[in-house]
Amino acid sequence: AYPSTPSSFFHLLRAQGRSANRKPLVVFTPKSMLRSPMCVSMLPELTDGRFYPVLGDGGVDPASVRRVVITSGKLCHDILRERDAKGVRDVAVVRLERYYPFPGAELQAALLQYPVTAEIAWAQEEPKNMGAWRFIRERFLDGDVQGFERRPLQYIGRAPSASPAPGSNKVHVREQEELVAKAFA
């Protein structure tokens, strides 16, 4: 799982604790999200909410969307911050909060809100040969997201690499800025 809000993390842990099915829960959340002003939840989201494996984008008019970017974790906050700074209103960001079991029906419902002509892209921070790209692509090709098997899924991320990080903070920052810019190209 890759929760991107405090309420999502809370309800994920709560659901795991209350589940009769005892399986390990692996949660990926970067420490940088602890102090992010975009990573907040209101009290009613904690008291009245539940875990949603897919979070849609309420910040855009679905009819005007030309591209849907599916992503998870910290990267969604980076893309949303840049979108708001540039005033872009035709790119929707859909957050995948859990990878397994794959929420195909929930992702399908989120994608059906947007025009059939909208491009669909997966964005990740990791290089192409790492991260969730292949797993997500296979879910689309195998029909886990029904109705989207024949629609091309674009990749937004770093080029394949032998190393998960470039080793230089300057290079990392530059690559991150390029990656976020690709979400709007």
pLDDT digits (tens, 9 = 90+) for 156-184: 999 998 887 788 889 888 989 999 999 99
Mean pLDDT (whole number) for 15-39: 84
pLDDT digits (tens, 9 = 90+) for 110-138: 999 999 999 999 999 999 999 999 999 99
Q: Is the pTM of this model over 0.75?
A: yes
What is d(CA 165, CA 19) in angstroms, rounded to the nearest whole number? Answer: 36
